Amino acid sequence: MTEDADTRPQLPEVQPSEEEVQQLVRGAQHGEEAAFSRLYEVYFHRVYRFVALRVDTPADAEDITEDVFLRMLESIGSFRRREAPFVAWIMRIAHNRVVDYWRRARTRTSLPLDEAPPLPSEREDPHARIELFSDSRDLQAALGRLTDLQRQVLALRFGAGLSVMETAAVMKRNDGAIKALQHSAVAALRRIMVPGEQ
């Protein structure tokens, strides 16, 4: 086993070209093990981050991420390039798994109080911090106060690193609607983190 990308700087991420992705997808559709493995390496972080920004706990994000790749394995034969880019296709799978998760979660009890992170607006003097979010739990708590669509657009844009066009394909909206939604989501996040600001 070799050291991998975890130890290298993460941003900006180098993603394979669309042509390379198409080649990998064709390979996977023809049953090439190496192509499946490479697709996993390429999309693992993006899927995980997207899911983690939309669910409650890292353990849930891990379970759903694994499930997304197993579903990719089973259904890659049904992927058609002309319908959407591959990244939009796999993120659509991830989105559907997240929707299932929340459907099941309705019957669950809520997070115990001592495990819930304090909401940023409840803290003293948010202006005193240079970073608005001290860690990922902080960010997730703030995202939890957005509407589902706002949370989804930020998870796709900031978590999965999708372009507006790809985000539009996943959310089945036009580019203009995604830009407007993104604007309202970032502004809402700002209001949550810095409540007194004009």
- Give me the residues that bind other proteins (CB under 8 A), please: 1-4, 6-7, 10-12, 31, 33, 36-37, 40, 44-45, 48-49, 52-53, 58, 61-62, 65-66, 69-70, 73-74, 131-136, 138-140, 154, 157-159, 161, 163-164, 176, 179-180, 182-183, 186-187, 189-190, 193-194, 197
Q: Which is nearer to other proteins, 106 or 156 (CB)?
A: 156
Q: Identity (one letter) of the amino acid at 109?
A: T
Query: Please, which residues have CB within 8 angstroms of residue 22's CB and are 6 or more apart in sequence?
Result: 81, 86
Question: Minimum distance between the CB of residue 82 and other proteins, rounded to whole angstroms?
Answer: 24
CA dist 44 and 173 (Å) reads 25
Of 86 and 158, CB closest to other proteins: 158
Q: Is 130 helix (H, G, I), strand (E, B) or coil?
A: coil
**CB-nearer residue toward other proteins: 92 or 194:** 194
Paired tokens of 86: 């591959």
Q: How many other CB atoms are found less than 10 A from the CB of residue 150?
A: 19
User: From the CB of 44, what's the least distance to other proteins, in Å?
Assistant: 7
Q: How far apart are CA 139 and CA 186, in angstroms?
A: 12
